[in-house]
Amino acid sequence: MKSITEDLIRNTIRIRPNQSHKGTYGRVTLVGGNQNMGGAIIMATTAAVYSGAGLVSTLTDMHNLSSLHSRLPEAMVANILDSNQIKKLIPGANVVVVGPGLGTDDQSKNILQLTLQNVQPNQIVIIDGSAITMVAQDKIKLPKAHIIFTPHQMEWQRLSGIKIADQKNQNLNQKVRDKLNAIVVLKSHHTQIYTSKDTFINPGGTPAQATGGMGDTLAGMIAGFTAQFKNTENAVLAAVYAHSAIADKLAERRYVVLPHQIAERIPFFMHNYQSFK
Amino acid sequence: MKSITEDLIRNTIRIRPNQSHKGTYGRVTLVGGNQNMGGAIIMATTAAVYSGAGLVSTLTDMHNLSSLHSRLPEAMVANILDSNQIKKLIPGANVVVVGPGLGTDDQSKNILQLTLQNVQPNQIVIIDGSAITMVAQDKIKLPKAHIIFTPHQMEWQRLSGIKIADQKNQNLNQKVRDKLNAIVVLKSHHTQIYTSKDTFINPGGTPAQATGGMGDTLAGMIAGFTAQFKNTENAVLAAVYAHSAIADKLAERRYVVLPHQIAERIPFFMHNYQSFK
Amino acid sequence: MKSITEDLIRNTIRIRPNQSHKGTYGRVTLVGGNQNMGGAIIMATTAAVYSGAGLVSTLTDMHNLSSLHSRLPEAMVANILDSNQIKKLIPGANVVVVGPGLGTDDQSKNILQLTLQNVQPNQIVIIDGSAITMVAQDKIKLPKAHIIFTPHQMEWQRLSGIKIADQKNQNLNQKVRDKLNAIVVLKSHHTQIYTSKDTFINPGGTPAQATGGMGDTLAGMIAGFTAQFKNTENAVLAAVYAHSAIADKLAERRYVVLPHQIAERIPFFMHNYQSFK
Amino acid sequence: MKSITEDLIRNTIRIRPNQSHKGTYGRVTLVGGNQNMGGAIIMATTAAVYSGAGLVSTLTDMHNLSSLHSRLPEAMVANILDSNQIKKLIPGANVVVVGPGLGTDDQSKNILQLTLQNVQPNQIVIIDGSAITMVAQDKIKLPKAHIIFTPHQMEWQRLSGIKIADQKNQNLNQKVRDKLNAIVVLKSHHTQIYTSKDTFINPGGTPAQATGGMGDTLAGMIAGFTAQFKNTENAVLAAVYAHSAIADKLAERRYVVLPHQIAERIPFFMHNYQSFK
Query: pLDDT tens digits, residue range C114-154?
Result: 999 999 999 999 999 999 999 999 889 999 999 999 999 99
Q: What DSSP assignment string belongs to A6-24?
A: HHHHHTTSPPPPSS--GGG
> Mind telling me how many Å the CA of A39 is from chain B's nearest CA?
4
Q: φ and ψ at D264, to 5 degrees?
A: -65, -20
Whether residue C112 is predicted with pLDDT greater than 90 in this model: the reply is: yes
pLDDT digit string, tens, across residues B182-240 = 999 999 989 999 999 899 999 999 999 999 999 999 999 999 999 999 999 999 999 99
Q: Is C201 on the interface with B (CB under 8 A)?
A: no
Give me the residue from D68, D211, D260 closest to A52, CB to CB: D211
Give me the residue from D68, D207, D212 closest to A16, CB to CB: D207
Whether residue C277 is predicted with pLDDT greater than 90 in this model: the reply is: no
d(CA D260, CA D152): 19
Q: Which residues of B touch D67 (CB under 8 A)?
A: 70
Whether residue B277 is predicted with pLDDT greater than 90 in this model: the reply is: no
Q: Is C66 on the interface with A (CB under 8 A)?
A: yes
Q: Is D238 on the interface with C (CB under 8 A)?
A: no
User: From the candidates D9, D15, D21, which should be mutated to test the interface with C, based on the most C CB atoms within 10 A?
Assistant: D21
| Minimum Cα–Cα distance from C24: chain B residue | B210
User: From the candidates A256, A257, A258, A262, which should be mutated to test the interface with B, based on the most B CB atoms within 10 A?
Assistant: A256
Q: What DSSP assignment string belongs to A59-124?
A: EE-GGGHHHHHHH-TTSEEEETT-HHHHHHHTTT-SEEEE-TT--SSHHHHHHHHHHHHT--TT-E
**What residue segments make up the domains of chain A, in order of their start?**
2-273
Question: What is the average pLDDT value for chain A, to the nearest integer?
Answer: 97
* Contact criterion met (CB below 8 Å) for C50 and C71: no
Q: Distances in Å between the alpha carbon of D243 and those of A226, B101, C126, D117?
A: 29, 44, 41, 30
Q: What DSSP assignment string belongs to A180-194?
A: HTSEEEEBSTT-EEE
Name the amino acid, one letter, at A233: E
| Minimum Cα–Cα distance from D21: chain C residue | C210
* Contact criterion met (CB below 8 Å) for C221 and C242: yes
- Inspect the interface and report whether the beta carbons of B65 and A259 lie closer than 8 Å: no
d(CA A63, CA A35): 6
Task: Give the strands of the sheet with A2-3, arranged side by side.
Answer: A2-3, A199-201, A192-194, A183-186, A146-149, A124-127, A95-98, A27-31, A55-60, A76-79
Q: Which residues of C touch A70 (CB under 8 A)?
A: 67, 70
> Mind telling me how many Å the CA of B185 is from chain A's nearest CA?
25
Rounded mean pLDDT, B230-253:
98
pLDDT at position C67 is 98
Give me the residue from A39, A152, A189 closest to B69, CB to CB: A39
Beta bridge partners of B57: B29, B76
Whether residue A157 is predicted with pLDDT greater than 90 in this model: the reply is: yes
d(CA B23, CA B135): 31
> Is C21 annotated to bind ligand?
no
Burial class of residue D10, CB neighbours in 10 A (0-12, 13-18, 19+)? middle
> Is A189 annotated to bind ligand?
yes
Q: What percent of chain B has pLDDT over 70?
A: 100
Q: Which residues contact D60 (CB under 8 A, 6 or more apart)?
A: D30, D31, D32, D33, D38, D41, D68, D77, D78, D79, D80, D101
Which chains does chain B touch, 3 or more C-beta pairs < 8 A? A, C, D
> Mind telling me how many Å the CA of D16 is from chain C's nearest CA?
6
pLDDT at position B139 is 83
> Is A230 annotated to bind ligand?
no
Which chains does chain C touch, 3 or more C-beta pairs < 8 A? A, B, D
Query: H or E segment at D126?
Result: strand D124-128
> Is D26 annotated to bind ligand?
no
| Minimum Cα–Cα distance from D70: chain A residue | A70
pLDDT digit string, tens, across residues D203-261 = 999 999 999 999 999 999 999 999 999 999 999 999 999 999 999 999 999 999 999 99
Q: Is A235 on the interface with D (CB under 8 A)?
A: no
Name the amino acid, one letter, at A4: I
Q: φ and ψ at D254, to 5 degrees?
A: -125, 140
pLDDT at position A189 is 87
* Contact criterion met (CB below 8 Å) for B263 and B217: yes
Q: Which of B5, B30, B11 is nearest to B216 (CA)?
A: B30
Whether residue C262 is predicted with pLDDT greater than 90 in this model: the reply is: yes
Whether residue A39 is predicted with pLDDT greater than 90 in this model: the reply is: yes
List, as ranges, residues 16-35 from B with C-beta within 8 Å of A: 16-22, 24-25
Q: What percent of chain D has pLDDT over 70?
A: 100
> Mind telling me how many Å the CA of A14 is from chain B's nearest CA?
31
pLDDT digit string, tens, across residues A178-208 = 999 999 999 998 999 999 989 999 999 999 9
| Alpha carbon A236 to chain centroid, angstroms | 9
pLDDT at position D277 is 79
Q: Is B70 on the interface with D (CB under 8 A)?
A: yes
Q: Which residues contact C136 (CB under 8 A, 6 or more apart)?
A: C155, C158, C159
User: From the candidates C45, C57, C69, which should be mutated to test the interface with B, based on the most B CB atoms within 10 A?
Assistant: C69
| Minimum Cα–Cα distance from C206: chain D residue | D18
> Is D128 annotated to bind ligand?
no
Query: H or E segment at C200?
Result: strand C199-201
Residue B33's region, left for phi above 0, alpha for psi from -120 to 50, else beta, is left
Cα angle value A106/A111/A114 (rounded, 5°): 125
pLDDT digit string, tens, across residues D132-164 = 999 999 889 999 999 999 999 999 999 999 999
Q: Which of D263, D234, D265 is nearest to D249 (CA)?
A: D265
pLDDT at position B171 is 95
* Contact criterion met (CB below 8 Å) for C208 and C182: no
CB pairs under 8 A between C and D: 113
d(CA A47, CA A53): 9
Dihedral (CA of C204, C210, C215, C218) sign: negative
* Contact criterion met (CB below 8 Å) for C200 and C4: yes
Q: Please report which confidence band the pLDDT of residue D119 belongs to, taking 50, 70 and 90 as the band edges.
A: very high
> Is C275 annotated to bind ligand?
no
Question: What is the average pLDDT value for chain D, to the nearest integer?
Answer: 97
Q: Is D154 on the interface with C (CB under 8 A)?
A: no
Q: What crossing angle do the helices spanning C214-228 and C259-273 adopt, rounded to 10°?
A: 30
* Contact criterion met (CB below 8 Å) for A31 and A98: yes
d(CA B116, CA B210): 30
Strands C55-60 and C76-79: parallel
Q: Which of D23, C70, C17 is nearest to A66 (CA)?
A: C70
CB neighbourhood size of B271 (10 A):
17
CB pairs under 8 A between B and D: 4
Beta strand segments in D134-206, E: 146-150, 183-186, 192-194, 199-201
d(CA B26, CA B224): 8
Q: Which of B71, A28, C44, C43 is nearest to D67 (CA)?
A: B71
pLDDT at position A139 is 83
Q: Which of D146, D155, D172 is nearest to D231 (CA)?
A: D146
Q: What percent of chain C has pLDDT over 70?
A: 100
Domain B2-273 has CATH 3.40.1190.20: yes
d(CA A122, CA A95): 9
pLDDT at position B52 is 98
Whether residue D54 is predicted with pLDDT greater than 90 in this model: the reply is: yes
Q: Is D47 on the interface with A (CB under 8 A)?
A: no
Does residue B62 sit in helix, strand or coil? helix
